[in-house]
Amino acid sequence: MRQMSDYPEDGELVVCTVKEVKNFGAFVSLDEYENKEGFIHVRDVATGWVKYIRDYVREGQKIVTKVLSVDTSKGHIDLSLKQVNEHQKREKVQLWKNEKKAEKLLEIVAEKLKRPPAELYEETATELLEKYGGIYGAFEEAALNQKAFKKEHGKKKWVDAFVEIAKENIQPPKVCIVAVMELTCPDSEGILHLRDALMDNSASERAEINIRYMGAPRYRIEVSTVDYKTAEEELKKIFQGIEAALKKFDGKAKLVRDDKK
């Protein structure tokens, strides 16, 4: 997926394809910036003395580099390979792969709507990039929170097809929060009240909820969703609902452990 700006910013990580390798450095093309090329000086290829530059880069190789400087007047982009660690490389490559996948999915949406892909991209890209940080992020949001996504963009003609393709092709990332609750109710029908409290407060539109009996008075609750903040909010909401329901019958609810896994 091409970037909306013409040039990368200083300090940005970019995916490149090595075009030509010389003893003094390597010339690369920037995959995310159309018709833009950059240069990696041999001193920026690796830490220490580089005897054979082709031990580190070769023609046709995909690499992740850091932008050192950009001279838009001359079209020069200086890059560094040695300033990118393995974690940054893996993360950037995954983001790049996600956006490439999103590009293909947007083509499917365009085909479904019988519209040219470039036209649909021009219509949607700016809005989705600003709101979700990328087209793939928009597909993830559409797959995970369909109602919220439609509410946000519902008047636009492409939304229903976008959500449909997202549901079919995107598995949003999940995190899980685990908690243990101690639930008691002294009422003569306490077991029924506990059951009702759990059943009435075990559903969520933003998360998957799993509550299991561990042995009186302990219950294990797992909240799975897209990020820890949302999971924590849903856990709090569910626990408070159970607590309020049991108080009506002099019951008590206590959160005795809260853990992330």
What pLDDT was estimated at residue 4? 53
Q: What pLDDT score was predicted for residue 126?
A: 84
CA distances to 63, 69, 144 from 84, rounded to whole Å, are 10, 15, 32
For residue range 61-102, what is the model confidence (pLDDT) as tens digits? 999 999 999 999 999 999 999 999 999 999 999 989 999 999
Task: Give the pLDDT mean for 207-218.
Answer: 88
Q: In whole angstroms, what is the distance from residue 2 CA to residue 140 CA?
A: 19
Note the pLDDT of residue 2: 53
- Residue 236 is predicted with a pLDDT of 93
- Kindly list the structural domains of the chain, giving each domain's residue range(s) and its CATH number in brackets, ordered by start: 13-83 (2.40.50.140), 87-169 (1.10.150.190), 175-260 (3.30.70.1130)
For the stretch 152-168, pLDDT in tens is 887 888 999 999 999 99
> Are the CB atoms for 28 and 38 separated by under 8 Å?
yes
